[in-house]
């Protein structure tokens, strides 16, 4: 029996890299059929009124640690992932990479065991941020659990991880070429972060296949006129893409504007969002607009991707269309997910509908209203 198509009408649709009025998005099961004139909506279609809002691809977040009231590293279980995924999808993020920061390896192993048997249509896999970082730029990561990138230990980790591990943040200056190649051969997306790399070390890492930079400007060598460091190498690279946290706390809005002007389509959004935690390796305390450790060290954001898009438009002056690309098609392209981050025929029917106040009103995950 054929599934009843869904037509989302009365909204401004972000498709084909532009905002389109007077049309509808047609869904058939888990896929998008296309963007069609309202007059062409099939008679049997279920019509969903967007109430004048924006109809956009579901957001793609490649770095977050928790959602709802759960921090995955503090409770690396399927029930925690369920709550995290439910909260994220309701906020408009329909694809996410759960992240584990530097932790004891038994926590990482428990997370991998959970992920091996867990499936959710919004979960892309694991982003491991550490433990192979530079202690000089550790940020909130505990020095005690940061490790030297020893090849045999990394091989064992990769064997245990299987296909669950999709992305890893590393300090490139601590890796030799063979170990970077080992990670790349496993299919990992490598991102430079928590790094004190010089300009030359960072450029060498990009040349060897490091594709991205983690939370641009945070926990990395500074941009200096005598040593441009990792930020300067990112600007000068022709290929490296950089994630950025647009909450006005982790990075000043004017720094975001400068970065956007220089990086263009190589800059994309992450939330770096955490949740309150008083057990486990990290104690995250919510202080009104951010999370910190007990000593005041900035430890994560309280952002949603919808809020990050709104900040890009309202505070940085980025056009809405480009802010949406930063939250959808750019991160999807980095991970090679051609079916995500766009409203196009054959794409996964992940959609968010939000109003002029940037409040998410409707979400579709694989064509199913949430």
Separation CA 44–CA 131 (nearest Å): 54
Report the 10 Å Cβ neighbour count for 284.
Answer: 24
- 89-113 burial: b if 16+ Cβ within 10 Å, else e: bbbbbbbbbbbbbbbeeebbebbbe
User: What distances in angstroms separate CA 176 from CA 114, 136, 170, one per listed residue?
Assistant: 31, 19, 12
Catalytic choice (82, 227, 272, 338): 272
User: What distances in angstroms separate CA 323 from CA 17, 51, 314, 332, one per listed residue?
Assistant: 11, 22, 10, 14
Q: Indicate if 272 belongs to the active site.
A: yes
Report the 10 Å Cβ neighbour count for 218.
Answer: 17
Active site residues: 272
């Amino acid at each position: 029996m054929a599934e009843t198509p869904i037509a989302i009408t009365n909204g401004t649709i972000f498709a084909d890299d532009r905002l389109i009025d007077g049309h509808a998005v047609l869904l058939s099961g888990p896929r998008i059929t296309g963007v069609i004139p309202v007059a062409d909506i099939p008679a049997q279609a279920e019509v969903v009124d967007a109430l004048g809002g924006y109809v956009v691809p579901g957001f793609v977040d490649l770095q977050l640690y928790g959602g709802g009231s759960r921090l995955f590293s503090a409770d690396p279980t399927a029930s925690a992932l369920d709550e995290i995924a439910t909260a994220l999808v309701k906020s408009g993020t329909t694809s996410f990479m759960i992240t584990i920061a530097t932790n004891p390896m038994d926590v990482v192993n428990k997370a991998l065991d959970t992920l091996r048997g867990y499936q959710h249509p919004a979960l892309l896999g694991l982003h491991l941020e550490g433990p192979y970082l530079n202690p000089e730029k550790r940020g909130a990561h505990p020095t005690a659990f940061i490790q030297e990138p020893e090849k045999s230990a990394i091989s064992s980790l990769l064997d245990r991880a299987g296909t669950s591990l999709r992305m890893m943040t590393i300090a490139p200056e601590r890796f030799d070429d063979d170990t970077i190649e080992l990670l790349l051969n496993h299919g990992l997306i490598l991102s430079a972060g928590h790094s004190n790399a010089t300009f030359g070390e960072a450029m060498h890492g990009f040349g060897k296949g490091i594709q991205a930079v983690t939370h641009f400007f945070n926990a990395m060598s500074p941009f200096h006129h005598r040593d441009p460091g990792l930020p300067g190498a990112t600007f000068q690279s022709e290929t490296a893409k950089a994630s950025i946290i647009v909450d006005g706390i982790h990075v000043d809005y004017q720094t975001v504007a400068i970065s956007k002007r220089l990086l263009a389509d190589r800059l994309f959004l992450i939330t770096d969002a955490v949740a309150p935690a008083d057990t486990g390796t990290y104690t995250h305390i919510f202080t009104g607009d951010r999370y910190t450790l007990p000593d005041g060290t900035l430890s994560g954001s309280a952002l949603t991707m919808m809020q990050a898009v709104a900040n890009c438009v309202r505070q940085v002056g980025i056009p809405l269309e480009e802010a949406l690309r930063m939250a959808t098609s750019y991160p999807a392209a980095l991970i090679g997910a051609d079916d995500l981050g766009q409203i196009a025929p054959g794409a996964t029917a992940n959609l968010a509908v939000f109003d002029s106040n940037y409040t998410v009103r409707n979400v579709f995950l694989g064509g199913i209203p949430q």
